């Protein structure tokens, strides 16, 4: 399965609660990413990190937070400030990207978050 | 920023026929264009890709073409089979990010 895991597979939370999604990889990849996928839409980048203790906002970072304290781990917190958090969340990792060279991103199995 | 448009949103073809999905991009600096296949509830899987210095690439029944001047690229699947049914996404690599198309649901009719 590519050595990248996400847990849990399904997550239910009440509106107004923060929730943290786990992402772990044992591929020794430097870069990690969080995407959100809504029905009938492509993947949208929330946050990415190319190195430990550093991360950048993607297109839809509002209402989300991340940390990168270890190379293997990149947890995503969905805060109460996220207006429509119900979605499928995908984590990915890759070797370090450069401006002109793309290295394939490998995806985890995803977490389906439902806010009641 | 980069924008990727993908058409059609749904494509239904008879088993054995060919399928073509088209994408356009806006950033002329984009230099890498992957195609992903996603089955229902599963993770996206890379099926083929093309770099900006290449016009066409084939891998068995699938091929991708790139027209840099027109800023569009296409996925071609020949001799379609039931297991080709899935959602296909194109993407463009620009400024350290993959920008994704909205996806095409491919339906293979028996």
Chain A residues near residue B89 by CB distance under 8 angstroms: 42-43
The b-or-e profile of A59-84 (16+ CB within 10 A means b, else e) is eebeebbbebeebbebbbebeeebee
> How many whole angstroms separate alpha carbon A42 and alpha carbon A56?
20
Mutate: best of B24, B29, B43, B97, partner A, most A CBs <10 A? B43
**pLDDT bracket for residue A27 (50, 70, 90):** very high
**pLDDT bracket for residue B97 (50, 70, 90):** confident
CB proximity list for B31: less than 8 A, separation 6 or greater:
A100, A102, B51, B52, B93, B94
Nearest to B100 among A42, A50, A104 (CB): A42
CB–CB contact B89 A104 (8 Å) = no
Query: What would the pLDDT profile of B24-82 be if each residue is shown by its tens digit?
Result: 999 988 989 999 999 988 899 999 999 988 899 999 999 999 999 999 999 999 999 99
Query: What would the pLDDT profile of A30-78 be if each residue is shown by its tens digit?
Result: 999 999 999 878 899 999 999 999 999 998 999 999 999 999 999 999 9
CB–CB contact A42 B32 (8 Å) = no
Chain B residues near residue A55 by CB distance under 8 angstroms: none
Chain B residues near residue A107 by CB distance under 8 angstroms: 43-45
Chain A residues near residue B33 by CB distance under 8 angstroms: none
């Amino acid at each position: 399965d590519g050595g990248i895991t996400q847990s849990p597979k399904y997550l239910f939370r009440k509106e107004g609660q923060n929730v943290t999604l786990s992402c772990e990889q044992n591929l020794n990849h430097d870069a990690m990413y969080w995407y959100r996928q809504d029905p009938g839409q492509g993947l949208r980048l929330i946050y990415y990190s190319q190195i430990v203790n550093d991360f950048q906002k993607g297109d839809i970072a509002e209402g989300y937070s991340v940390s990168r304290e270890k190379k293997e781990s990149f947890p995503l917190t969905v805060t109460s400030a996220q207006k429509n958090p119900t979605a499928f969340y995908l984590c990915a990792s890759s070797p370090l990207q450069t401006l002109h060279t793309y290295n394939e991103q490998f995806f985890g199995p995803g977490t389906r978050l439902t806010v009641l | 920023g980069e924008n990727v448009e993908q058409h059609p949103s749904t494509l239904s073809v008879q088993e054995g026929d060919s399928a073509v999905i088209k994408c356009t991009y806006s950033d002329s600096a984009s230099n890498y264009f992957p195609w992903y296949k996603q089955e229902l509830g599963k993770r996206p899987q890379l099926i083929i890709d093309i770099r900006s210095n290449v016009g066409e690439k084939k891998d068995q029944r699938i091929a991708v073409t790139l027209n840099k001047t027109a800023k569009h690229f296409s996925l071609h699947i020949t001799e379609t089979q039931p297991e080709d049914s899935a959602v296909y996404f194109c993407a463009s690599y620009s400024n350290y990010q993959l920008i994704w198309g909205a996806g095409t649901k491919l339906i293979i009719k028996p």
